[in-house]
Structure 1
Amino acid sequence: MWGICCRTVVKVGMAKPRHLVKPVSATRVAGRYLTHQKGLPGLPVPPLQQTCERYISALEPIVEVDELTHTKELLDDFQKAGGLGERLQSGLEKRSHNTENWLSEWWVQVAYLDYRMPVIVHSSPGLVLPRMNFSDKQGQIRFAAKLIAGVLDFKTMIDNETLPVEYLGGKPLCMNQYYEVLSSCRIPGLKRDSVVNHAKSLPKHITVVHNFQFFVLDVYHSDGSPLTADQLCVQLERICRASAESSVDPVGILTTQHRDSWAKSYLNLIKDKTNKESVLAIQRSIFTLCLDGAVPQVSDDMYRSCVAVQMLHGGGSQWNSGNRWFDKTLQFIVGEDGTCGANYEHAPAEGPPIVALIDHVVEYTKKTEMVGSPTVPLSMPQKLHFNITPEIKNHIEEAKHSMNVLAEDLDMRVMVFRHFGKNVPKAHKMSPDAFIQMALQLAYYRMYQRCCATYESASLRMYRLGRTDTIRSASSASASFVRAFDDPSKQNTEKVELMEKAVKAHRQYTDTAISGQAIDRHLLGLKMQALEEKLPVPDIFKDVAFAKALHYQLSTSQVPSKTDCVMCFGPVVPNGYGVCYNPMINHINFAVSSFNSCEETNAGQLAQAVEGALLDMRTLLEQTPRAKL
């Protein structure tokens, strides 16, 4: 149940802007990373009574009155002096003194590694970059070569410990996730997956996938210097020539399976020595580059939505779902027609390091091309071979079928809201993120005449090894605002007051969350502490209201980026929506997803409703004198 919280991306809206292409230091600053990490505070354990009170407030807009009364009774019993709540709280506080971060190990385990649904759609986000200026194989190879060089440029900062420290509200952030995204990979297990990181063994290669075939491409010379973009072009051309035919079994599609199914297929696959060596080479690689064919021809309006599907799951077995290794933490995807983006496995990291790396790489690819480098002999990229038994072939066919069912079920709409961006809320002295979140609340209310549990990710990176907590965007203030907005009996001045209160309440909850005082991870910790101490799971976690609180029909995330891109992910419940957005100065990129199998939801309709809500909110502010500040 708690695992559903992981399928959104971290909120990074308040981070200071980065200068993206920094000179890479040639000198290693040994020990800088550890020194920085040790200086960060540990994640606090919020007071028990505070969390219980805030939990009740969070339930008010989404549960019935009788359910709320019952929950209050359960919480009163839970908080009794000398009771179960106090014991669990005490256990958590002891754990916080004895660990670097009392939450992080539990969170990765429960939210990711124990989660058994496929990583595609349900967990791993995709990222859609603007269409690049090429439309043939040669252009694809040239761009991909520069992309590789850009990642290696960023990697040098990680390796040398010269990566600039990020700040939030003047406070330094944990940089650990940057050290987890390269040379790492998820490994399927029968009940729980694991993540391996090979960075310390200094891998020298990336994995390149083309026409469902995998290659090891060494990206460093024997003296440790990286291959130039020109040299990488030569190697990528060799790979494309060596894999011109696509009549092979797409082994990569196995990584799209339900995790238990993939774990069984995986054990079967690596029984063979050749297969095991090939899989290990993929796992050890710095990252994966997927060279795709052109995407299906669609109208300009649907182009970004079509690309989002390619980044999220590859479009099905007939397209590019087999041209991936979805367990790899970082996959860059470059299509022959200029489509470009990424997919990342969520367990090792949140959005910020991925976005920072991609921003850096995109800027790097814009640099003028270097003059041709000296000709040096380059060893042929090594093709990875797989021995496909009839049993493995059956697993591949099953994976194709399951993948296609999921691809058919997902409805993904990317909308570029061009009327305004973060400039408008800022002009009215409102947080752009809170303004957009209230538009989402209004859009949902207009469609369904009710409020729903809404998840937005908040960064806990002010604390050592911090990951995320939940900003609960549905509040009593937001409920009052959306109910009044279309009520003709309400005056505009009152509606604006309610909007301002709702935006302010969201801003306050955001501050609460990033300072480690939100409710969701604390409640998870209390539940996990009960399991750790082999105590009965408290009744508050068996409550109907608790199930409703975790049934996020709106799973949302703001992922700002210097690059004009948008992240995308699937809904976290069958009758829900996934909404990711990137607010730019004068426009906002949205990706909205839902499942076709649910008759209640429709991604296109929600996207239209969000557009209408944003426009109506702006009109209200402009037409109401007291809003003009």
Structure 2
Amino acid sequence: MMSSLYTHIDPSLGMIDAIKENLPYKVYMQVQTRAVVSAILFATGVWLFFIYLMRFTLKTLLSYHGWIFESHGKMSTCTKLWLSLVKMISGRRPLLYSFQAALPRLPVPRVDDTIQRYLESVRPLLDSKQYNRMEILANEFKETESTQLQRYLILKSWWATNYVSDWWEEYIYLRSRGPIMVNSNFYIMDLLYMTPTHRQAARAGNVVHAMLQYRRKLERGEHAPLRALGTVPMCSTQMERMFNTTRIPGIETDIVQHLTDRKHLIVYHKGRFFQVWLYIGGRHLLPSELETQFQRILNDPSEPQPGELKLAALTAGARVPWARARLKYFGHGINKISLDAIESAAFFLTLDEEPQGYDPAKVNSLDIYAKSLLHGKCYDRWFDKSFNLISYPNGKIGVNIEHSWADAPIVGHMWEYVLATDCFHLGYTEEGHCKGDMNRGLPCPTRLQFQISDECQDVIETSYLLARQLADDVDFNCYLFSEFGKGLIKKCRTSPDAFIQLALQLAQFRDQSVFCLTYESSMTRMFRDGRTETVRSCTSEAVAFVRAMEDPCATNAVRLALFRKAAEKHQNMYRLAMTGSGIDRHLFCLYIVSKYLGVESPFLKKVLSEPWKLSTSQTPQQQLNLVDINKFPKYVGAGGGFGPVADDGYGVSYIIVGENLITFHISSKFSCPDSDSSRFGQHIRKAMIDIQALFKPENNNRTVENGKYVHLENGKKHM
């Protein structure tokens, strides 16, 4: 601006003079003051214009998803140019929430496309009569109600940051009136082979301190945003409610309560609740100070107050009795004060009494560990908290997570940071204590006080008995598949996820002799406020492959060709789900709109009532790349799992751990005579080995094209 005075060039093209002439109260300003104010206003406007221009440009660029459909390692020139532009605009060191406003909105698919994909997904599961009936319902819906419902959904997509996420949270999670323990909450395990200390208080001290470090970086936005290809940003909104968050029960629907920075933690041990302050003198407690506090709780000989032992069972039972009990017995007095302390805590810590963890000498050690994390004793976890940290006497740890506020990758991100910080940055003394001096001058943890009437204790016992029945019915099998892993699968030039999903289809058919509707969780976090989408893994191509595997007359070459076709189909469906062209979230939202408008849709009602007898999910690993697991192979996590979704089905969570290990967490119900988690685990193992055997060299010289055998000789086709 100053140089323009000497060169007699106006870079504002007269805009500064125009601002000068139209300034309010200009008659009271000196000429120089008016010039300075006008220049500042012009510069501010130019600055804001460029910020919004860059944001709009980045948002437009991020709306391009062609890269995800390209073959691995074969990036087009267009994608390379796009990638360069995104990198240039993104900056060098973006903060966690830097890209939030630039993320595109989740697009609403065309109804015709969604119905076509839906009918294609159910074709292998229905006989001709059932399929024709479903086709008629779909066409009737398309020709009648769909136009109106789609119009309202598009309108919502214009004003909401995400047309799915708020309804998904409310209607799938918060309005469910059944127990969230087992049915909704999930868990994540500790390191599989390594326990850095066997002192319970010390391990809890380090881990809690690492969590506080993570929370501080989260509040400051100092974590690097997760990015696909190292460039395409993922939505980080879910992380905001990781700490200081509780699910509050209601009669018709629950709510998620998120508070600002909380300075205390609630600890449960032997039926007693303690409040531990996490700050002193404006700083976090050091690991050694936290160890001191937790050891004091472990040494405390006091007994639980009447009704206190099983109090948390209220959060494990049905939601309506808990909501009524909360209003009646915890709405005033000392009970309200103590409940407020629990619900406003940063998170909930249980100092468990029974050692857990992986023991190669005990066949079912991981199964027991998983059930402990999933439901415990049904009264020693506060299932409404965003997450419960569980610390065991042998130094093992784990977390139980309430599902409504976030999905597994979000908590997995925090868990990776915590484990790496615990083992590689904080460390322990030779005796297994936290490093640093013990501070004996800290005020002791405070016991929470309750006055629980006999009537309230009866309500607690009723919730406990319901939860106990649910927990005892869970059949869990955690299986370590170590025959091969991601490394060998990639050498077969196929997707590890597609490989495992097809193995699950083969295992399911061998276990039940029928195919079933299969749910695989995909993510939509490339969009603003994105969460998950469903991939329907039981495709016609997968069914054809499984039938070939079970057909003794089929050759391995034919089976391999069908496998590749099914794997490619699965990958394409996964890509469509990630880019907003899935099936189930669109149909779910159309159903919600129909309910709001009072429109009856037999098609949508039928779709939404279909049971998922095989529900699967892959938990991502190495989101932060803080630990080189090739260099430190003992520092691998065991992943996590969830309870069965259907009474007569399986829940399968799998984790691809490094190059040579895959862990499977399999759940079902004892009350179902047709399911057996251990048996299903063995079917998975055999299916994985059988599929891998197809990739032997002798099976790669024959394939199938258009139903005809093709023999390859020196790369040339011969019929």
Confirm or deny a common fold (TM above 0.5). yes
- Among all aligned residue pairs of Structure 1 and Structure 2, give the percentage whose two residues are the same amino acid: 31
Establish whether residue 55 from structure 1 lines up as the match of residue 115 from structure 2: no
> What's the CA shift for 1:64?
2.0
Counterpart-to-counterpart distance in 1, 2:560 and 2:234: 35
Establish whether residue 72 from structure 1 lines up as the match of residue 129 from structure 2: no
Change (3 A) 1:389 1:495: same
State the one-letter code of the partner of 2:364. M
> What's the CA shift for 1:323?
1.6
Partner residue in 2 for 1:161: 221
Identify which of 107, 128, 134 aligns with 2:189.
128
* Residue correspondence of structure 1 range 89-488 to structure 2 within 5 A: 89-129=150-190, 130=192, 133=195, 139-169=199-229, 170-198=231-259, 200=260, 202-223=261-282, 225-242=283-300, 245=303, 248-295=308-355, 300-314=362-376, 316=377, 321-367=378-424, 368-369=427-428, 371-373=435-437, 375=439, 377-488=441-552
Does the CA-based 8 Å contact 2:164-2:589 persist in structure 1? yes
Identify which of 8, 27, 39 aligns with 2:102.
39
TM value normalised by structure 2: 0.78
Identify which of 641, 666, 671 aligns with 1:568.
641
Counterpart-to-counterpart distance in 1, 2:501 and 2:701: 19
Counterpart-to-counterpart distance in 1, 2:250 and 2:595: 21
State the one-letter code of the partner of 2:605. K
> What's the CA shift for 1:73?
1.4
> What's the CA shift for 1:413?
0.6
Moved more, 115-124 or 243-252: 243-252
Establish whether residue 489 from structure 1 lines up as the match of residue 553 from structure 2: yes
Counterpart-to-counterpart distance in 2, 1:398 and 1:253: 9
- Secondary structure (helix, strand or coil) at the match of 1:276 reads helix
Deviations 1:304-343 (A, max 9, x none): 11000000000x3xxxx32211100111111102332110
Change (3 A) 1:413 1:371: closer
Deviations 1:105-157 (A, max 9, x none): 11001110011121111000011223653786xx0000000000110111111
Partner residue in 2 for 1:23: none
Identify which of 695, 704, 717 aligns with 1:621.
695
Partner residue in 1 for 2:664: 590
Counterpart-to-counterpart distance in 1, 2:448 and 2:380: 14
Partner residue in 2 for 1:88: 149
Return the structure number with greater relative CO, CA threshold 8 A, min gap 6: 1
Counterpart-to-counterpart distance in 2, 1:497 and 1:326: 47
Deviations 1:433-486 (A, max 9, x none): 110010000001112222100001111111111111101110011010001112
Counterpart-to-counterpart distance in 2, 1:594 and 1:604: 10
- Secondary structure (helix, strand or coil) at the match of 2:388 reads strand
Does the CA-based 8 Å contact 1:287-1:328 persist in structure 2? yes
Moved more, 40-49 or 265-274: 265-274
Deviations 1:55-90 (A, max 9, x none): 10011111221111112112222222xx32111111
Counterpart-to-counterpart distance in 2, 1:46 and 1:621: 38
Q: CA RMSD in A?
A: 2.1
Moved more, 452-461 or 268-277: 268-277
Does the CA-based 8 Å contact 1:141-1:237 persist in structure 2? yes
Partner residue in 2 for 1:528: 592
TM value normalised by structure 1: 0.89
Does the CA-based 8 Å contact 1:132-1:339 persist in structure 2? no
> What's the CA shift for 1:32?
5.4
Establish whether residue 577 from structure 1 lines up as the match of residue 650 from structure 2: yes
How many pairs does the alignment contain? 583
- Secondary structure (helix, strand or coil) at the match of 1:61 reads helix
Counterpart-to-counterpart distance in 2, 1:33 and 1:86: 39
- Secondary structure (helix, strand or coil) at the match of 1:301 reads coil
Does the CA-based 8 Å contact 1:210-1:243 persist in structure 2? no
- Secondary structure (helix, strand or coil) at the match of 1:531 reads helix
Counterpart-to-counterpart distance in 1, 2:600 and 2:701: 49
Does the CA-based 8 Å contact 2:612-2:646 persist in structure 1? yes
Does the CA-based 8 Å contact 2:374-2:642 persist in structure 1? yes
Does the CA-based 8 Å contact 2:189-2:399 persist in structure 1? yes
Change (3 A) 1:422 1:132: closer
Counterpart-to-counterpart distance in 2, 1:332 and 1:84: 47
- Secondary structure (helix, strand or coil) at the match of 1:143 reads helix
Deviations 1:225-252 (A, max 9, x none): 1111111111112222235545753211
- Secondary structure (helix, strand or coil) at the match of 1:366 reads helix
Does the CA-based 8 Å contact 1:132-1:338 persist in structure 2? no
Moved more, 256-265 or 98-107: 256-265
- Secondary structure (helix, strand or coil) at the match of 2:671 reads coil
State the one-letter code of the partner of 1:188. P
Deviations 1:278-319 (A, max 9, x none): 1111111111111101148996211111000000000x3xxx
Counterpart-to-counterpart distance in 1, 2:544 and 2:250: 46
In the alignment, structure 1 segments of 5+ residues that lack a partner are 1-30
> What's the CA shift for 1:273?
1.4
- Secondary structure (helix, strand or coil) at the match of 1:79 reads helix
Counterpart-to-counterpart distance in 2, 1:398 and 1:525: 36
Counterpart-to-counterpart distance in 2, 1:409 and 1:371: 43
Identify which of 576, 580, 584 aligns with 1:516.
580
Counterpart-to-counterpart distance in 2, 1:527 and 1:627: 49
Deviations 1:145-187 (A, max 9, x none): 0000110111111111111101124421000111111110101
Which of these two proteins has the greater Rg computed from alpha carbons? 2
Change (3 A) 1:609 1:127: same
